[in-house]
A and B are shown apart, each in its own frame.
Chain A
Amino acid sequence: MTGTSPLMPRQRDKHPQPFWPDYKTSVTRSPSLPLLSMDSTPSEETGPPFGHSLLGPLDNNLILNYSQGKASAVGERIRVHGQILDETGRPVPNTLIEIWQANAGGRYRHVKDTYFAALDPNFGGCGRTITDEYGRYEFLTIRPGAYPWPNRANDWRPMHIHFSIFGHAFGQRLISQMYFQGDPLIDLCPIAATIRDRSQLDRLVAPLDMQNSRPHDYLAYKFDIVLRGRRQTMFENKPEGM
């Protein structure tokens, strides 16, 4: 993508605190000096394009993609769908979304995960898709389980799906997590608590969407995402005084 309109500055107060002692790993992994703030340049305003030809037919179906259609993953079948917009409200079409998650028991297929919930032989835990012309996307998956993690003595992650979104500019790059409506563990989670603005945290909690559920098949959850916008002005790209 070649657009070179400047990106709107990131509102850092709407994002998590980088340093948050209750999330112990952040203590040694957060910069202690201020970031260098600058107007974006073409290096941040451009970004890698990904085409729909990248995708296989099961890439956004985590129930079937690990077994390549041979057997279904265990768990509560859900559809996660939504729209990607930018801060000006414009849909973000043709952008790559990648997700990863634990299985229904709360176990990841990863050498570092030693939780004793069983691995599901038919669940890998990754999926990807590219938004359509209206910025819409959908995944079919199973609801991930909550899981314990080494932090304070008894910390559990609420049920969540990790999201990675590209946008059309390297400066729009975003990784976040989707939580589920009504999960009591959200309020106990030190990672969720890194977001100090409650209304911002609420935006990561996907509501149950019965109208888009399919009877006798799956429940739906709606999860919309907003990426950084671009300033729009006819004064851009003209030297000072012209």
Chain B
Amino acid sequence: MTQSLGLLIETPSQTAGPYVHIGCIPTFAGIEGVYPEDLGLSPVANGAKGDIITITGSIYDGTGWAMRDAMLESWQADASGLYPGQEGADPNVLGFCRFAADKDTGEYTLKTVKPGPVADRNGNMMAPHISIWIVARGINIGLHTRIYFEDEDNQNDPLLNRIEQRHRVETLIAKKSGDTAYRFDVRLQGDGETVFLDI
């Protein structure tokens, strides 16, 4: 016998199901009056420093169908690479946003400030990125991924450099679709499957 490590095990995940909107974005789901407004409507307040950008895209299932029921959350640093709560962080960047695929088109939109590079624990700079978490019916454990930007220098990003099949790096890079607009599609399965993270 040995001493016990005394560690607990994380509670298992379960799918968010088709009605996740009721709990997380009730106003979007048509449930008015319980809360004043949905949580995480915008990751920035007026006066946020940096470039305001719009990212649009869809979450495709393995058949190529743009899912109508996906819910996403994003978490990001401010324009100088600081997370909310860190010393010197922009008080007008909340960093967190919650948004859903449109129920008719399956398209999502995220309007935010473009984040700056963030150092990892070893002092290596990570290229500007937004962390994304995706839940929906049929997804048994939420999927983490990242949005990088094609007009940033992604050469030395420690995470992107870990991807052995170099063509898969492209699945994490938002493509410029206008002056301040980007396109970022997620493919859960099949051709061009997005790189998901166990991080």
Contacts and interface: CB of A to CB of B under 8 A. Distances in A.
Interface string B125-168: 01001010101111111111010000000000001001100000
Given A2-B85, A30-B139, A99-B23, A66 B12 contact: no
A28 B141 CA distance: 14
B106 interface: no
By secondary structure, the A interface counts as: loop
B193 interface: yes
B135 A48 contact: no
Contact of A36 (B6, B94, B135, B163): B163
A236 B121 contact: yes
B13 A44 contact: no
A175 B22 contact: no
Nearest to B129: A43
A29 B9 CA distance: 26
B9 A112 contact: no
Interface stretch (B27-35, B44-52, B175-183): B27-35
A110 interface: yes
A78 B170 CA distance: 50
Which size class do A's interface residues fall under?
35 or more
Contacts of B11: 174, 176, 203-204, 225-227
B10 A228 contact: yes
B12 A42 contact: no
Nearest to A161: B23
Nearest to A149: B18
Most buried by A among B7, B34, B190: B34
14 contacts: A2-B83, A32-B190, A36-B195, A37-B198, A38-B197, A42-B118, A46-B75, A46-B85, A49-B85, A56-B35, A109-B31, A112-B19, A200-B12, A229-B7
